[in-house]
């Protein structure tokens, strides 16, 4: 059975190539790098064999010294046990098989190597999605896929566990960006190579009438404090370690040597006592 495709890869690559030619800064990539640097600074370890999986090599090439840059293809160009850190950078939200991407990274990590991922998620471009859907429903009586679906934090966190990584951590960093017009938002998306590359995208271009209605609806429903348009972006960060015997292990159930009541400084209740109901005499 053929797995349904989320992404038109040829179109995605074309969008990324167009974005790479822009002289504008993909500011959300810069913010993702700054936040990743803060997280890596908390890891008391130096890395000597890094790799970065990304569809934006010109943006991420200098993020880690001497890092091998790997395109985010379905089959990653990674060798087993070759790296002590792998960064999956701003590409996982376009993957048809995100858990497969993480598993491939885990297999390419040395023992106790670190996997770090960052991608868009949750409420990214939620306002634009709503307004386009309302405008198309009004004009065409239905909606077309215009904005890629974004995974929730808990779903991406579950992928870390499914991939076999140890000590998984997933967290989210949200921001809202205000725009004076939606053309600037679209320009930012083009710079990042994040315009519509869905496999199920409507071949009929978005009409000017639909766009105008969406623009008007947007300014009414999602105005910013200082500008007519507010756009949400969520960056989800994923961290996990290749399993190693030296890592801390959870205790077996029932192996605790200290009572919870002692730790909390409260008396321990008799478990055989039935809770008293207020209506009881």
pLDDT tens-place string over residues 59-116: 999 999 999 999 999 999 999 999 999 999 999 999 999 999 999 999 999 999 999 9
CA–CA distance, 30 with 59 (Å, rounded to integer): 8
Residue 218 has pLDDT above 80, yes or no: yes
How big is the chain by its Cα radius of gyration, in Å? 23
Domain-embedded: residue 218: yes
Q: Residue 4: inside a domain, yes or no?
A: no
Residue 272: the pLDDT is 63
- Residue 256 confidence class, pLDDT cut points 50, 70, 90: low
Res. 258 pLDDT band, cuts 50 70 90: low
Q: Which residue has the higher pLDDT, 73 or 205?
A: 73
- pLDDT tens digit string along 219-230? 999 999 999 999
Which residues have C-beta within 8 Å of that of residue 61, sequence separation ≥ 6?
52, 67, 69
* Structural domains counted in the chain: 1
pLDDT of res. 250: 60
What is residue 55's three-state secondary structure? Answer: coil
Q: Is the pLDDT of residue 260 over 90?
A: no
Residue 275's SS3 state is coil
Residue pair 229/223 in contact by the 8 Å Cβ criterion: yes
Quickly state the pLDDT bin for 142 (edges 50, 70, 90): confident
Residue 250 included in any domain:
yes
In a domain, residue 158? The reply is: yes
Express as a percent the part of the chain with pLDDT over 70.
Answer: 88
For residue 276, tell me if it sits in a domain. Answer: no
- pLDDT 10s digits, 170-194: 999 999 999 999 999 999 999 999 9
Residue 50 lies in a domain: yes
Q: Where are the beta strands (DSSP E) in the chain?
A: 50-54, 68-70, 83-89, 109-120, 166-179, 229-241
Name residue 112's beta-bridge partners.
none
**Residue 264 pLDDT class (50, 70, 90 cuts):** low
Length of the chain: 281
**Of 6, 28, 20, 63, whose CA–CA distance to 193 is shortest?**
20
Which residues, other chains included, contact 208 with Cβ-Cβ below 8 Å and sequence gap of 6+? none
Q: Rounded to an integer, what distance in angstroms lies between the CA atom of residue 190 and that of residue 186?
A: 6
Least confident of 3-12, 135-144, 265-274: 265-274
Least confident of 32-36, 163-167, 276-280: 276-280
In a domain, 277, yes or no: no
279 pLDDT band (50/70/90 cuts)?
low
Domain around 252: 9-264
Q: At what angle do helices 126-140 and 208-221 cross, to 10 degrees?
A: 130
Domain assignment of residue 26, yes or no: yes
Q: What is the pLDDT of residues 2-50, one digit of tens each?
A: 677 899 999 999 999 999 999 998 999 999 999 999 999 999 889 999 9
Task: Determine contact, residues 212/134, Cβ cutoff 8 Å.
Answer: no
Q: What is the CATH number of the domain that holds 183?
A: 3.40.50.150
Q: Average of pLDDT values for 233-248?
A: 92
């Amino acid at each position: 059975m053929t797995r349904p495709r989320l992404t038109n890869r040829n179109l995605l690559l074309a969008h990324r190539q167009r974005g790479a030619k822009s002289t504008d800064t993909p500011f959300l990539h810069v913010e993702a790098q700054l936040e990743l640097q803060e997280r890596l600074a908390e890891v008391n370890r130096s890395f000597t064999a890094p790799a970065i999986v990304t569809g934006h090599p010109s943006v991420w090439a200098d993020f880690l010294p001497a890092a091998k840059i790997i395109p985010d293809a379905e089959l990653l160009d990674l060798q087993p046990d070759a790296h002590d850190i792998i960064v999956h950078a701003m590409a996982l939200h376009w993957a048809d098989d995100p858990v497969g991407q993480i598993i491939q990274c885990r297999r390419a990590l040395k023992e106790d190597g670190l996997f770090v991922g960052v991608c868009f998620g949750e409420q990214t471009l939620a306002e634009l999605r709503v307004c386009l859907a309302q405008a198309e429903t009004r004009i065409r009586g239905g909606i077309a896929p215009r904005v890629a679906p974004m995974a929730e934090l808990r779903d991406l966190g579950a992928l870390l566990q499914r991939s076999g990584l140890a000590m998984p951590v997933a967290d989210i960093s949200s921001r809202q960006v205000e725009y004076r017009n939606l053309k600037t938002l679209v320009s930012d998306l083009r710079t990042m190579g994040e315009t519509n590359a869905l496999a199920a995208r409507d071949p009929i271009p978005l009409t000017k009438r639909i766009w105008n209605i969406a623009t008007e609806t947007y300014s009414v429903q999602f105005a910013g404090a200082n500008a007519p348009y507010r756009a949400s972006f969520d960056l989800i960060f994923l961290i996990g370690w290749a399993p190693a015997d030296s890592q801390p292990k959870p205790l077996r159930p029932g192996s605790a040597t200290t009572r919870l009541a002692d730790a909390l400084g409260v008396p321990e209740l008799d478990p055989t006592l039935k809770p008293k109901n207020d209506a009881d005499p």
